[in-house]
Structure 1
Amino acid sequence: MDHFLKQKIFDNTIESYLYVLGTILVMLLLKRLISKYLAQQLFRMIANKKNQTARKSFLDLVVQPLGLFLLLSMTIIAVDKLRFPGVLDFKIYRITSRQLVESVANAIMVIVFIRLCLRIIDFIATILEEKANLTKDQTDNQLIIFFKDFFKVILVIIGILLMMKFSFNKSIGNLLTGLSIVGAAIALATRESMENLIASFIIFFDKPFAVGDLVKVNGFTGNIEKIGLRSTRIRTTEKTYISVPNKQMVDSIVDNMSLRTQRKAELRLEIDLSATAAQLQSLTDAIKQILTVPEIENKVVFLSETGKNAHVVLIEFFTSAEQPIEAFNLLRQETNLQIINWLEQHGIALAASNTSVTVKQV
């Protein structure tokens, strides 16, 4: 038996192979328990341990990549005890097969580690979003989304640098120096993208709008669904989904309709020139009386102009900003119908050049 274990295959004894295989099998059997224990300890460090829902969510996110990271680490440590077979030792463009295997192993370790860190960031962002949802201010929510994406980008860059260091044996210091020069050239070539990135910071700190706000920009009206590093996503009133570069959101005039204090409706009546001054006075008084309802907070009715084509009566009224749009439109309809009915009863005609009531919502 001892003679059998001492036999060599590819420059290593069978006993060495069995030790390595046994170590990997033991780690394969225990990785779930070990990773779950380590994940629980990590959870206690970053979250409230009494929150069982968050605990389960964290374990679902972290246990699997953590177990894979531990298994790979132990496998690499165990295999490293073996002597690299001479029959497999060859060179490819001045790179030995041993160096190639080590580089691939290091790259896989870095990828798995960065994936684990990304899962942790997702969990932390989820916890912070739950806390932010308890407040009325939506600024916290969009900051969490922004910085989650921002830190993920930083982690990916760190992962690339680690792969360059451990897989390709490049000096990170020299690499960073080179990257600074290349980065300057890239910044000039991608000036628009950099401007959008800077604009995203301006949006977060200046706070002209937040996720969920109803805005009007560049001829589009819709609700803000996401503010990203490069663009802002808007769900329009036509239910389409558009992306507006953040630079345009900063440089353009953005009408944040969610921050208005009142809803405004504007009506322009063009009355036929045959109407007398007394009739026009009665009309303005009647419209003021029609607009005397609890839903209307302020109103303006006056004869704004007269000329060779028509007498123009301008009507504006304001309601609460919290009033649902359906109720607001119904109020506008009832007001229009009452005005038209009054005109018909008193024999006042609209101007021939415009036989309808022009209505404008602001």
Structure 2
Amino acid sequence: MKWLEFFTSENLIDLGIAIGIFLLFLLFRKIFTKYIFSLLLKLGNKSPTHFFTEIFMAFKKPVEWLFVVFGLYVAISYFPHLNQGNAFFLQVLKSVYIFLITWGFYNFVASNSILFTGINKKLEFDKDNIIIPLLSKALRFIIIAIALTVILQAFDYDVTGFVAGLGLGGLAISLAAQDILANMIGGFVIITEKPFTIGDWIVTPSIDGTVEEIAFRSTKVRTSADALVVVPNATLVKEPITNWSRMEKRQNSFDLTLTFETPQEKVETAVSQIDYLLKNDPKIDQESIMVKFNKYNENGYNIMVYYFTKTTAWGENLSINEKVNFKIMKLLRDESIELAVPTRALHVQAPKDIQEMMQESMKRGSDQ
């Protein structure tokens, strides 16, 4: 039988040598990982930028597999009935080498690598910036595309038609995905112009809430009802955006109406005293204070109170406003100044015949 011819003493010796060579390269791989790679990491950590450390970490797994592939290649030279110079085998081997190199560069351009960390620090991008992940994905796509092209060429495949096909396919996809492209452009505008960042409270005609995530296609906003709304970026860039988190202070304004019975002197006192207590409050912005007797209401004299607190926190602003209200309440009580209560006087006029009857009745009563 033909398969029995394989188990000759010569073939078994060659098979043993091939297996031994392969196991030897596995041992080299173990030694490299445990000793040589650790030494390289220590040397790389001594550099000020840790650039070489990142390279070593990116290519660690590919190099480990390189020992396996190269060991397999050397072992095959002793393996019976296998031709090391076979064209297809060499093509596969070349493709594997390209794959391992691609794997290393793919790891190196990760968004958290030192390459993009340095760019992030130099350009001072915000924590929510998504340009770095986008650049990382774009570079990874380019690396994979180049590797795929080289591998296809290694198998004698004409990549010209393949690239042309990609161009036509890309055109068809772009026409069919105009909304996606519009959202991506909107995301790019949001990233570059930065009308808001993660954690900002924004208000638009379509949404009111806190920004939780900014992506290239959409932005996630948490509303006051704790609902998560995904808004397409193309919609956001077309709408006016009010970013309340960008304000440096909060506005407060209200009106006080004093009764018409209040003397002019007391009206002037109320205006001056309210202005004084606001100007002596360190939590109130001094440049924005306005206390004026500005108009006559239907039921009294109107005093406008307008000021800004130095805080942007809603709860703290409410507390400051509450303390101001209590101080004004005490001031008015101490000065015996009353606030006007909205009232309406209702005059009812009886019909003419009823008026005549009432007059005759009153006349009779007086005659008696």
In structure 2, the CA distance between the partners of 1:234 and 1:121, relative to structure 1 (3 Å rule), is farther
In structure 2, the CA distance between the partners of 1:253 and 1:27, relative to structure 1 (3 Å rule), is farther
How far, CA to CA, are the matches of 2:95 and 2:270 in structure 1?
A: 82
How far, CA to CA, are the matches of 2:76 and 2:188 in structure 1?
A: 47
Partner of 1:49: 47
Following superposition of structure 1 onto structure 2, how do residues 197-212 of structure 1 map, counting pairs within 5 Å?
197-211=184-198
Cα-to-partner distance string for 1:218-274 (whole Å, 9 max, x where unaligned): 432325x554332334566676655433323422222334443x3122232363775
In structure 2, the CA distance between the partners of 1:200 and 1:333, relative to structure 1 (3 Å rule), is same
Deviation at 1:334, TM superposition (A): 0.6
Following superposition of structure 1 onto structure 2, how do residues 301-316 of structure 1 map, counting pairs within 5 Å?
301-303=291-293, 306-308=296-298, 313-316=303-306
Matched, 1:151 2:136: yes
In structure 2, the CA distance between the partners of 1:179 and 1:215, relative to structure 1 (3 Å rule), is same
Consecutive unaligned residues in structure 2, runs of 5 or more: 345-368
Give the counterpart of 2:25 among 18, 24, 27: 27
Q: Percent identity?
A: 17
How far, CA to CA, are the matches of 1:84 and 1:198 in structure 2?
A: 59
User: Which of structures 1 and 2 has the larger relative contact order (alpha carbons within 8 angstroms, sep 6+)?
Assistant: 1
How far, CA to CA, are the matches of 1:43 and 1:175 in structure 2?
A: 45
How far, CA to CA, are the matches of 1:76 and 1:190 in structure 2?
A: 46
Partner of 2:347: none
8 A contact 1:196–1:245 mirrored in 2? yes
Q: TM-score, normalised by structure 2?
A: 0.65
What amino acid maps onto 2:151 in structure 1?
Answer: F
- Alpha-carbon RMSD across the aligned residues, in angstroms, is 4.8
What amino acid maps onto 1:122 in structure 2?
Answer: A
Greater Rg by CA: 2
Partner of 1:320: 310
Deviation at 1:290, TM superposition (A): 2.7
Deviation at 1:63, TM superposition (A): 6.1
Matched, 1:348 2:339: yes
How far, CA to CA, are the matches of 2:39 and 2:118 in structure 1?
A: 20
How far, CA to CA, are the matches of 1:233 and 1:199 in structure 2?
A: 14
SS for the counterpart of 1:122 is: coil
In structure 2, the CA distance between the partners of 1:185 and 1:51, relative to structure 1 (3 Å rule), is closer
Matched, 1:122 2:110: yes
Partner of 1:360: none
Matched, 1:330 2:315: no
SS for the counterpart of 1:208 is: coil
SS for the counterpart of 2:249 is: strand
Give the counterpart of 2:167 among 180, 193, 208: 180
Matched, 1:73 2:38: no
Partner of 2:253: 267
In structure 2, the CA distance between the partners of 1:14 and 1:263, relative to structure 1 (3 Å rule), is same
In structure 2, the CA distance between the partners of 1:156 and 1:296, relative to structure 1 (3 Å rule), is same
Q: TM-score, normalised by structure 1?
A: 0.66
What amino acid maps onto 2:23 in structure 1?
Answer: L
In structure 2, the CA distance between the partners of 1:342 and 1:213, relative to structure 1 (3 Å rule), is same
How far, CA to CA, are the matches of 2:263 and 2:62 in structure 1?
A: 85
How far, CA to CA, are the matches of 2:222 and 2:72 in structure 1?
A: 49
8 A contact 1:263–1:318 mirrored in 2? yes
How many residue pairs align between the two structures? 326
What amino acid maps onto 2:26 in structure 1?
Answer: L
Cα-to-partner distance string for 1:321-359 (whole Å, 9 max, x where unaligned): 5x6655433212211222344455522145469xxxxxx
In structure 2, the CA distance between the partners of 1:138 and 1:216, relative to structure 1 (3 Å rule), is farther
Deviation at 1:310, TM superposition (A): 7.6
8 A contact 1:304–1:314 mirrored in 2? yes
